[in-house]
Amino acid sequence: MSFVPIKFAGSDIPTVEDLRNCIHCGFCLPSCPTYIATGHELESPRGRLHLIDSVRSGRVDINDRLLGHLDLCLQCRACETACPSGVPYGRIMEDARASIMANPKSLQPRQWRLRTFLLRYVITQPIILRFAIFPLRIYSKIKLQNLFRNHISKWVPKRIADLEALIPEISSKSFRRRGILASPEKISARVALIMGCVQGEMFPQTHEATIGVLEELGCEVIAPPSQVCCGALHLHAGDMQKSRELAKKNIEVFEEYQVDAILVNAAGCGSTLKEYGHLLREDNKWAKRATVFSNQVQDILEFVASLMQNSNLQKNLSTLSINVTLQDSCHLAHAQGIREAPREILNQIPGLNLHEMRNPDRCCGSAGIYSLVQSEMSNEILATKMEDILTTDSSIICTANPGCTLQLQSGVRQSELDAEVLHVIDLLYRSLSQK
């Protein structure tokens, strides 16, 4: 990954106002998974902010070393929770990455260019995504996976084996239904559902569970057919242009529906959807509409937790006598500040024992495409996470985001743990549908 050193370019260069909130107190360091793993200031939020500031002010250019430090960031935003001065780290890192990718194509780091290309032309294209996942589905179905894992894995390079371990056991169907998905007799609220890109392909059951729970709560559920990917992965990879394009499309689509809330069951998407207002703040035509959209967005868990109290839902839950531990998805806890809702929901399930792990809000190493592009660090972080999970003696690990679920499933396989990884809503629905 060698290239001619470059500077920040374009109109999204991190602002002095954002950067100078940092007073270098260092409180973010112990919350940062990569600082914990390396002990290097270079791999800490404070260090990266200083590097970004140094690039911005022209003291240094971005070469491959510096790029490496920026690239090792998970964008988990745990530092934002730890920061007493309110530095908007996630935004600064997104801006920095966008300003790297705003350079002419020939100057862009090659690996980043490839990433942007794949995100643009695979993730956002449902049909191509389906094609891309299809071999994995077959792989899973005809049990090639077992063959690889039991026999072949020891003969291939570790990096390949690590990547293979990420391949989930994918259900043979995907969730493709759109339109009105639930219409109970007595409607208490009308909601629109964000279908995401990966969720429906990899975890169709989570959509089923979401719809099932909402229906039980008396919600009419609509999935606007022409909605597109939320653009979170693009934003994190520096493709701000594409994420703005996607944001506008979604705003346009959802404006057509009169709903009480726009719900999303992937925390990573939710945090970006809630930030559309900021993403389009300088676009006169869109700024206001984006803010209106963002204000309507709620994570499925915060929505369900707020309705649960005054509903009959609890009466219809059957007992699940199990030990459960909860991984706070970073983009739920750190980016959206939602910590209580998943716990409130789990604690409503009769018989369920929520056994908290150490550092439940520390990243599992998934971080969108991070587990693919930084597999070594991702695995190191996952190993620590699995140690914390093991001590809870849980048979179910709950998350709130498909990326976390994939990563923890891989962790469960690697540590040969007998546990299931589910979205909180999956478990709630299981308790609901067993009656």
Partner 1 sequence: MENNQLATLISELLQKIDRSKILDAPEDLLVYEYDTSIDRAIPDVVILPTNADEVSHAVKVAEIYGIPVIPRGSGTGFAGGALPVKGGILIVLTAMNNIREIDVENRTAIVEPGVINLHLHEALEPFNLIYAPDPSSQRICTIGGNVGTNSGGPHTLAHGSTVNHILGIEVVLPSGRIVWLGGKQLDTPGIDLRGVFVGSEGTLGIVTAICVNLIPTNETIRTMLAIFDSIDSASEAVSAIIRSGVIPMAMEMMDQETIKVVEPRVQAGYPVDAGAVLLIEVEGLSEAVEHDSAVVVSACNDLGAREVRTAESALERESLWEGRKSAIGALGQTAPAIYLLDGVVPRTKLPEILNKVLSASSKAGFKCANMFHAGDGNLHPTVLFDPLEHGATDRVLELGGEIMKLCVDAGGSITGEHGIGLEKRSYMEWVFTDADLAAMEKVRFSFDPVGNFNPCKILPTGHGCAQGHMQITDQHFSAPGVYV
Which residues within the stretch 31-60 sit at the binding site for partner 1 (CB under 8 A)?
39-42, 44, 46-47, 50-51, 54, 59-60
Cβ at position 88, least distance to partner 1 in Å:
11
Residues in contact with partner 1, counted by CB under 8 A, come to a total of 32
Cβ at position 86, least distance to partner 1 in Å:
5
Q: Which of 26-34, 210-218, 271-279, 316-324 is the region at the interface with partner 1 (rule: CB under 8 A)?
A: 26-34
Which residues within the stretch 73-102 sit at the binding site for partner 1 (CB under 8 A)?
83-87
Q: Which is nearer to partner 1, 22 or 230 (CB)?
A: 22
The reply to whether 66 sits near partner 1 by the rule CB under 8 A is yes
| Token output for 161 | 């084996």
Q: Which is nearer to partner 1, 64 or 393 (CB)?
A: 64
CA distances from 348 to 188, 213, 214 (A): 21, 14, 16
Which of 6, 8, 14, 29 binds partner 1 (CB under 8 A)? It is 29
Q: Which is nearer to partner 1, 23 or 114 (CB)?
A: 23
Cβ at position 37, least distance to partner 1 in Å:
12
CB atoms inside a 10 Å sphere around CB 157: 8
Cβ at position 285, least distance to partner 1 in Å:
32
In this structure, are residues 240 and 209 in contact, taking their beta carbons and an 8 Å threshold? no
Q: Which is nearer to partner 1, 42 or 144 (CB)?
A: 42
In this structure, are residues 385 and 76 in contact, taking their beta carbons and an 8 Å threshold? no
Q: Give the residue from 348, 356, 258 showing the smallest Cα distance to 301.
A: 348
Q: Which is nearer to partner 1, 77 or 120 (CB)?
A: 77
Which of 23, 138, 147, 156 binds partner 1 (CB under 8 A)? It is 23
Which of 24, 158, 176, 288 binds partner 1 (CB under 8 A)? It is 24
H helices of 102-224, in order, are 110-118, 126-141, 144-147, 158-166, 198-202, 204-216
Q: SS3 breakdown of the chain: % helix, strand, coil, rounded to 5?
A: 55, 10, 35
Helices H, strands E: what count in the chain? 24, 9
Element (H, E) at 397: strand 396-399
Q: Which is nearer to partner 1, 88 or 231 (CB)?
A: 88
- Report CA 255 to chain centroid distance, whole Å: 24
Buried (b) or exposed (e) across 217-253, using 16+ Cβ within 10 A? bbbbbbbbeebbbbbbbbbbbbbbbbbbbbbbbbbeb
Angle at 296 between CA 199 and CA 433, to 5 degrees: 45
Q: Give the residue from 334, 304, 311 showing the smallest Cα distance to 424.
A: 304
Which of 2, 58, 65, 154 binds partner 1 (CB under 8 A)? It is 65
Cβ at position 361, least distance to partner 1 in Å:
15
Which of 27, 218, 339, 344 binds partner 1 (CB under 8 A)? It is 27
How many angstroms separate the CA atoms of 166 and 243, rounded? 26
Q: Which is nearer to partner 1, 84 or 157 (CB)?
A: 84
Cβ at position 81, least distance to partner 1 in Å:
11
Cβ neighbours for 108, distance < 8 A, ≥ 6 positions apart: 3, 6, 100, 101
CB atoms inside a 10 Å sphere around CB 384: 18
Cβ at position 329, least distance to partner 1 in Å:
23
Q: Which is nearer to partner 1, 67 or 261 (CB)?
A: 67
Q: Which is nearer to partner 1, 65 or 285 (CB)?
A: 65
Cβ at position 22, least distance to partner 1 in Å:
7
Cβ at position 56, least distance to partner 1 in Å:
13
Q: Which is nearer to partner 1, 79 or 317 (CB)?
A: 79
Which of 1, 11, 30, 255 binds partner 1 (CB under 8 A)? It is 30
Q: What's the residue count for the chain?
A: 435
Cβ at position 337, least distance to partner 1 in Å:
12
Beta strands in 212-282 (DSSP E): 219-223, 261-264
- Report CA 374 to chain centroid distance, whole Å: 16
Positions in the binding site for partner 1 (CB under 8 A) = 16, 20-27, 29-30, 39-42, 44, 46-47, 50-51, 54, 59-60, 63, 65-66, 69, 83-87
